[in-house]
């Protein structure tokens, strides 16, 4: 069987282990207890886009304070970002309460992503205080009242699941057309206001009842609320910890390769920036049958790992001219597709300059808000260069496909995760990520 046939078979053919409604076969631990001592009260930092009357806030907080998970605790712990330059702190929260078509998840693992770091450093505007963390796995413990019966049937209590960071509402104009990655509600509410799609957060401090915002589902927490359309059942064969990266690192890479770049067998591809997302791009490119896969970075350690993940050539941009080397490798033509996974004006330009005539430059790296990338307009026009932005994949269609790629071994989750750490070590993991000390993806274990 050819590689392309095998990939199609792995993606499209239903496996009995994942097509059934899978209840968790892993050992179930008692409900989590507090991991840290009670912290003091913190001031609530209001945001102009999220202003509500004090009566509305107190009413919502009061309702949350009376919520008690059946058979479990009434509160949980989560890591809170307060403001740039201040460390994450662990705080007690009322148990988050899911609403209609939302699912309460007992979080098992959460990936450490550069997008969170941009928020923590104040490089991307986002309401604060907030709980970051947006690639998670976990166990379903409750459904919101009035949830669709099909959602309850698909994700029964006890199911093990993985969540995508783009959480589609399922009913806006884009979601109706299958373009979950452009969901209007996600960008209008979650990314703009730090809430879910009724305009409210699900997170309230136990000490004061004050609301705290959510970056995606606010995954650096013992429990989180996720809109059901962002979830897929995780087979028993896949581990909780490594599978967390399916929801962002692999999800983002797949969206770039499948939808923006539309990779075809035989394409020559360059990936600039070999972090968690960039290294996932290498594996996806290999799975799609790319002939030449060129990894570009400034760290030899990352480039060495890139060879194992599918790179056929490696370029250290601190030691050689990356664009010239890419063109030398491709016989002077440039690559069919170049992917920028770092988010810097310099690498934006390198990406555009590295593609052949008629080629595609795909931008997936987030950067400092307001940063600009320059491009030679005449070259862009005359040589038909396509510059494409890509934020992620489509949760309802693509997340099940990624699970099958991982389940079949085509995508190696274990190789993609370079570090695991305990919940209390999450702040240090972000500091290490900021220093470039994490070569692939770090995952926080919250079990």
Check residue 66 and give its pLDDT.
Answer: 53
| pLDDT tens, position by position, 231-285 | 999 999 999 999 999 999 999 999 999 999 999 999 999 999 999 999 999 999 9
Q: Using 50, 70 and 90 to split pLDDT, how confident is the model at 70?
A: confident
Does residue 68 have a pLDDT over 90?
A: no
Return d(Cα 275, Cα 113) in angstroms, integer.
10
| pLDDT tens, position by position, 411-444 | 999 999 999 999 999 999 999 999 989 988 999 9
Check residue 137 and give its pLDDT.
Answer: 98
163 closest CA partner among 198, 179, 139: 139
Check residue 447 and give its pLDDT.
Answer: 78
Lowest mean pLDDT among 1-5, 107-111, 385-389: 1-5
Return d(Cα 287, Cα 307) in angstroms, integer.
14
Check residue 8 and give its pLDDT.
Answer: 47
Check residue 58 and give its pLDDT.
Answer: 40
- Cβ neighbours of 393 (radius 10 Å): 28
Return d(Cα 7, Cα 3) in angstroms, integer.
6
Q: Using 50, 70 and 90 to split pLDDT, how confident is the model at 391?
A: very high
Our CA angle for 128, 393, 258, nearest 5°, is 150
Q: At what angle do helices 300-309 and 276-287 cross, to 10 degrees?
A: 30
Does residue 15 have a pLDDT over 60?
A: no
Please state, for a pLDDT cut of 90, what percent of the chain lies above it: 79
Please state, for a pLDDT cut of 70, what percent of the chain lies above it: 85
- Could you tell me the pTM of the whole model? 0.85
Does residue 40 have a pLDDT over 60?
A: no
Lowest mean pLDDT among 157-166, 298-307, 368-377: 368-377
The secondary element (H helix, E strand) that includes residue 31 is: none
219 closest CA partner among 144, 158, 131: 131
Does residue 46 have a pLDDT over 70?
A: no
Does residue 19 have a pLDDT over 60?
A: no
Torsions phi, psi for 330 (to 5 deg): -100, 25
Check residue 52 and give its pLDDT.
Answer: 44
Q: Using 50, 70 and 90 to split pLDDT, how confident is the model at 3?
A: very low
141 with 223: CB under 8 angstroms? yes
Does residue 4 have a pLDDT over 80?
A: no
The arithmetic mean of pLDDT across residues 174-200, rounded, is 97
The arithmetic mean of pLDDT across residues 45-64, rounded, is 42
Mention every residue, 6+ apart, whose C-beta is less than 8 A from residue 316: 297, 298, 299, 300, 303
């Amino acid at each position: 069987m050819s590689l392309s046939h095998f990939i199609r078979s792995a993606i499209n053919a239903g496996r009995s282990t994942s097509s059934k409604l899978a209840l968790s076969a892993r050992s179930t631990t008692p409900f989590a207890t507090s991991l840290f001592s009670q912290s003091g009260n913190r001031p609530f930092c209001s945001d102009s886009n999220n202003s509500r009357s004090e009566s509305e806030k107190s009413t919502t907080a009061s309702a949350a304070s009376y919520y008690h998970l059946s058979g479990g605790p009434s509160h949980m712990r989560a890591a809170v970002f307060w403001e740039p330059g201040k460390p994450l702190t662990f705080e007690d929260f009322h148990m988050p309460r899911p609403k209609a078509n939302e699912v309460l998840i007992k979080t098992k693992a959460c990936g450490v992503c550069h997008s969170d770091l941009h928020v923590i450093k104040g490089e991307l505007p986002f309401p604060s205080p907030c709980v970051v963390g947006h690639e998670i796995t976990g166990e379903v413990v409750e459904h919101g009242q009035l949830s669709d019966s099909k959602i309850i049937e698909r994700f029964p209590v006890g199911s093990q699941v993985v969540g995508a960071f783009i959480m589609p509402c399922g009913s806006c104009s884009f979601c109706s057309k299958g373009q979950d990655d452009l969901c209007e509600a996600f960008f209008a509410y979650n990314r703009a206001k730090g809430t879910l799609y009724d305009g409210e957060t699900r997170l309230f401090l136990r000490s004061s009842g004050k609301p705290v915002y959510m970056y995606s589902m606010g995954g650096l927490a013992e429990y989180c609320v996720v809109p059901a359309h962002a979830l897929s059942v995780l087979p028993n064969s896949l581990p909780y910890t490594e599978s967390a990266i399916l929801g962002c690192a692999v999800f983002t890479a797949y969206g770039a390769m499948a939808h923006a770049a539309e990779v075809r067998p035989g394409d020559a591809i360059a990936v600039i920036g070999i972090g968690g997302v960039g290294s996932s791009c290498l594996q996806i490119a290999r799975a799609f049958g790319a002939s030449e896969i060129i990894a570009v970075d400034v760290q030899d350690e990352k480039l060495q790992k890139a060879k194992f993940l599918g790179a056929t050539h490696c370029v250290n941009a601190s030691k050689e001219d990356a664009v010239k080397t890419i063109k030398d490798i491709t016989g002077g033509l440039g690559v069919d597709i170049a992917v920028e996974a770092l988010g810097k004006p310099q690498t934006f330009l390198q990406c555009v300059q590295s593609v052949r005539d008629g080629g595609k430059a795909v931008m997936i790296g987030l950067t400092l808000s307001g940063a600009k990338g320059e491009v030679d307009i005449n070259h862009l026009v005359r040589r038909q260069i396509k510059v494409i932005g890509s934020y992620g994949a489509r949760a309802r269609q693509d997340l099940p496909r990624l699970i099958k790629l991982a389940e079949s071994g085509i995508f190696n989750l274990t190789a993609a995760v370079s570090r695991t750490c305990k919940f209390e070590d999450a702040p240090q993991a972000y500091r290490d990520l900021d220093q470039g000390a994490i070569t692939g993806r770090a995952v926080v274990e919250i079990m």
